[in-house]
Amino acid sequence: MSDNEADSNLIAYCGLYCGDCFAHKGKIADLARDLRKELRQSKFDKTAESLSDIPFFKVFENYGQCYEVLGALVKFRCNNVCRDGGGPPFCKIRKCSQKKGIEGCWECIESETCEKLDFLKPGHGDAHLKNLRKIKKQGVDKFIEGKRYWYNKIK
């Protein structure tokens, strides 16, 4: 398998690129795991509790929530790319593309108005739509080599 074939497998049906995703890279999950371990070994919960009584460190009252969020970040990891079943298991975009027998939404005439893509807007803005247009115009290889969007604010 060539590098571009391997890289093209990282293009999700929606036009996002799994290789750009923090859940796919795993670095944030690893850092969160390591920080939780260090906090646990240091018994930092006790330190946070005592510091929270000092007005300057009052924010440490929220330490438990912080630790809980770190736990969620540890789980925020994709072991597979979209094309191999990674990402949300309920993804209607993946199911639709597979049903239509297309490589991705860039091959679909409804991609500009498809409501299935709307669930991506809160987390990605219109990045996926910009990527779909680029793939449609330039092709997969040029898309992989060029600038890709992960989040782009909708104007």
pLDDT of residue 88: 86
**Domain spans of the chain, in order of start:** 3-16+81-145, 27-75
Place of tokens 């992989």: 144
pLDDT of residue 2: 53
pLDDT of residue 153: 77
pLDDT of residue 70: 98
Long-range interactions of 97-103: CB distance < 8 A, separation 24+: 97/13, 98/13, 103/13, 103/140
pLDDT of residue 61: 97
Q: For every one of its 155 residues, what pLDDT tens digit does the chain have, with 9 covering 90 and above?
A: 555 555 999 999 999 999 999 999 999 999 999 999 999 999 999 999 999 999 999 999 999 999 999 999 999 999 899 999 998 888 999 999 999 999 999 999 999 999 999 999 999 999 999 999 999 999 999 999 999 999 877 76
pLDDT of residue 154: 72
pLDDT of residue 4: 56
pTM over 0.85: no
